[in-house]
Each structure stands twice: as C-alpha cells, then as structure tokens.
Structure 1
Amino acid sequence: MPISLDQLSELAESAVKPEKSKKRNFTQSVEVFIKLTGVDVSKSGIKINELLELPEPGSDAELAKILVISSGPLGTEARRLEIPVLSREDLEKLAGNKKEIRKLANQYEYFVAEAPLMPLVGRVMGQILGPRDKMPIAVPPTGSIAPIVERLRKSVRIRMKAQPVVSCKIGNESMKAEELARNLQKVISVVESKLPNGEKNIDYVLVKTSMGQPTKLKLKSTR
C-alpha cells in the first residue's frame, strides 16, 4: 500500500529533531534519498533527471539563485526583478575562462537565456554547465521571464546517477513537518511513475538535514 502522508510527516519530523540534527548557525536544507531495488541502472534504461515544482516551496524559495543571459528586453525585465544578468558582451569575454565559468556554475542554481544566444552559450559554457545539468532554459527574446522565475523558485531537480539512488532537496528545517511531507510525497510519486513496478522498486526512503543524521523508512514494512 502507498506510504501515507502521516508516515511521511513522522519521517520528516524525526529528521529535524535535535537528537538527529544539531542546531547550526544557518538554516539547514532537508534532503531525501530514495534507494531503489530490483532495478539495474546500467541496463534498465531508466533515466530520472528533471525539474519538479514542489507543492510547498518554503521560505527559501526566494533565495534560489538564477542568472539570466540576455542583451535585450529579457535582461531589462530580469534587472527589474533584481535578478543578475550576463550580457552577450560579458558572455563573449568568458570564452576560454573555465575558472570563471565554474565559479558561475557553482554560484547559480538555474540559468535562463534568450533563445538567440543559446548557440553562443553552448560554445562558451556548455562544457561546464552541461555535465551539471545546468544548461539554460531558452526563452524567446520578447517572452516574459517572470513566470519562469516563479516556477524555478518553487522547483528542485531530482536525479539518479550511476547508483540506484534518487536524491533532491525537499525544503529546510524551518518548515513544518506536514509541508516537508507533502513535498516528499510529490517526489516519491514522480519517482514511482518512472519505475517499471512503481513503489515495489523502492527499497527505502531516507531523510536528513544537510549536516544531520539520517532517518529511514523501509517500504516493505508499509506494504
């Protein structure tokens, strides 16, 4: 049977308790790790790598770091929204400067670029942004960036790499357990939809704060 919202709330609440997560001088993220079973990642062809809009983005959604690459109206709108902008001239100056490009890749979670600049972005930054799944979202020069920014600020990237584990952030320790649980439920639902046998391919769900001890829920006990 599916994991109930109450079970997920208990899991999230346990992960942020003092005995599991000592108080730090910063607000810690809350992360989930979903261990799969009965799936051979190298042979199954299953790929999990997508942006997911969370039902409860939390207070840190406004802190999502976004960089807009534009020399037109898109950039003007971004500046009005107080979002950093990289102009075409700035982009051209980055050519060959891998150190600076890596710095930007580490500094920003999401990149948005006006569509005509995408070929140049690919040549200058693609080698570094591509492997990190941070290639920009392309937007028509006359399009609006506001709805894209709003969506990105509510989103997380869920992914599975070489190991049968899917991970992502589901919020922060200041959020209510019920809010974290709703985000967790959404993530699990999306992961299940990608698996051949749905929840039967999930071994356990582990939740922890950035620097805390993990709390685990073994799924076979819920079936």
Structure 2
Amino acid sequence: MSAELEWIETAVKDAIEKSPKRNFLESVEMIVVLKDIDLKGPEGRIREVVELPYQPHKDVNICVVADGEMALTAQKLGVNVITREELQNMDKKRAKKLASTCDWVLVKVDLMGLAGKVLGPALGPRGKAPIPVPPNAPLQNLIEKYKKSVNIRIRKQPQVMCRIGTKDMDVKELAENAYAVLQALERKLPNAQHQVSKVIIKTTMGPPFIAVRR
C-alpha cells in the first residue's frame, strides 16, 4: 500500500475491527461529505459509474433486457433475462420489483426506448438507469465489469454514498476500492481539494470512522 492510501487504510481497518460481529456478511461503505456544492448546478448532478479494482464478495444482481442471440447468451451466463415480450407486458408493480432487485439493468440497444418507458419510472428514483448494449458487444465482459462497479451520485444532500466491498475482504483491497471512488469523484469537482470535506468509512451497522488525509 502506497503512503497516499495509508490514511484510508487506517479508517477501513478501524471500521472492520471495531464493528460488532453480526450473523450476516456486512458491506463496507464509504461516505464522502462535500461542501460548497451547488446542488442545482452541474457539480450537483454528478452521476458516475466506477469500476472497482476488487470485486465485493456479495452477489451483484445483473438483469439483461434482450431478445434473440443476446437473450440466449445472457441465459447461458446465468443472469436474469427479461425478453421483449415480457417487457411489453410488464405492469408497474413488476417493474418496481425488478428495479428493487436488479443492481444493474443492461438493455439491448434497440430495446432502450421500450425499457425507458416501462422501467424508467421505477429505476429513476432508485438512482439506476438502463445501460445500452450493442448487439455484438462482449456481454460476458460487460457483466463482469458491472459486478465490480458502483454508481456514485449526488442526490438531495451534498454527499456521495456507496459500497466499496465486504467485511471479509482484505483491508488493502478495500482501501484501493475507496480510493478509486474518491479519485473518480474528485475528477468531477471543480475544486476537489477544497470541496471534499470528509471521507467516512463504516460497515453496514457499525460506527463511522473518518479517514484523515495526511
């Protein structure tokens, strides 16, 4: 671990070691508190997909909206497939259920219009958006990418929250994941050095620990 990441590693270590044992595998979460952000301006509409260096040990539910060859490929890869016909017949209740259970929704590009109409109202409030996939795209590679990815987004408060891994992961891996998220966020801020107020690390139900940058 390089010296520039030691400050994050210390907070990750404290969060893991000082979190009481639970009867389930807790996630490790990161909260970046911002200041002097215009929530109605461009910097307040930050929305970025960040591919983490290390995949969390919890299952990520990838859903694929497709037909034809892409649907067959997705089925072979063991992901949840929604066909064109199923999408056309989907009611609001099922759309909401799908939006709550799918972490990422990959959509064959020619079905994007229909997916936006049917799933958009359910996905939007959850900070999710259908991801277009060209017909000949390497679906397996995309699925593996999104299993390692998180969505960072500023909502109603000047902060970003996301999962960086799970409690059973190596501290250094978690710190590198956290740093990848922080770098992606800072690249979107006009004055990151000033606007990043706090970096907080915690487990799902554990106490928060502030990472103090040196």
- TM-score above 0.5: yes
Which TM-score applies when normalising by structure 2?
0.92
Separation in 2, partners of 1:56, 1:149 = 15
User: Who is 2:50 aligned against?
Assistant: 52
1:77 and 1:206 mapped to 2: Cα distance?
40
Counterpart code for 2:172: E
Cross-structure match for 1:98: 92
Query: Following TM superposition, by how much is the alpha carbon of 1:107 offset from its aligned partner in structure 2, in angstroms?
Result: 0.7
CA distance in 2, matches of 1:9, 1:54: 16
The alignment partner of 2:163 has SS state of strand
- Go from structure 1 to structure 2 and tell me whether the alpha carbon gap of 1:42 and 1:117 turns closer, same or farther (over 3 Å shift): closer
Cα separation, partners in 2 of 1:191 and 1:140, compared to 1, 3 Å: closer
Distance 1:201 1:148, change over 3 A: same
| 1:40–1:113 distance in 2 versus 1, CA, 3 Å | closer
Is the contact between residue 50 and residue 150 of structure 2 (CA under 8 Å) also seen in structure 1? yes
Listed one character per residue, the Cα deviations across residues 69-109 of structure 1 (whole Å, up to 9, x for unaligned) are 11211110111111111111111110xx2111111111110
Aligned equivalents of 1:32 and 1:4: distance in 2?
A: 17
* Matching residue of 2:155: 161
Using the aligned pairs only, state the percent identity. Answer: 36
RMSD: 1.7
Q: Number of residue pairs matched?
A: 212
Partners in 2 of 1:44 and 1:146 — Cα distance?
33
**Amino acid across the alignment from 1:163:** Q
Quote the residue 2:177 is aligned against.
183
Question: Matched residues in 1 for 2:197 and 2:165: separation?
Answer: 22
Contiguous gaps of at least 5 residues in structure 2: none
Distance 2:189 2:129 in 1: 26
Asked if structure 2 preserves the Cα contact closer than 8 Å seen for 1:72 and 1:141, the reply is no
8 Å CA contact retained: 2:153, 2:160: yes
Answer with 192-201 or 205-214: which moved more.
Answer: 192-201
* Separation in structure 2 between the aligned mates of residue 188 and residue 15 of structure 1, nearest angstrom: 18
Mind listing any 5+ residue stretches in structure 1 that lack a counterpart?
none
SS, match of residue 4 in structure 1: helix
Aligned-partner residue type, residue 16 of structure 1: I
The alignment status of 1:214 with 2:212, answered yes or no, reads no
Task: Please list, as runs of the form range in 1=range in 2, the aligned pairs for 1:1-150 lying within 5 A after superposition.
Answer: 4-17=4-17, 20-43=18-41, 45-60=43-58, 63-94=59-90, 97-150=91-144
Do residues 194 (structure 1) and 188 (structure 2) align? yes
Deviations for 1:27-47, whole angstroms, at most 9, x for unmatched residues?
111011111123232356443
TM-score by length of 1: 0.89
Q: Would you identify which runs of 4 or more consecutive aligned residues in structure 1 move more than 3 Å? A: 42-46
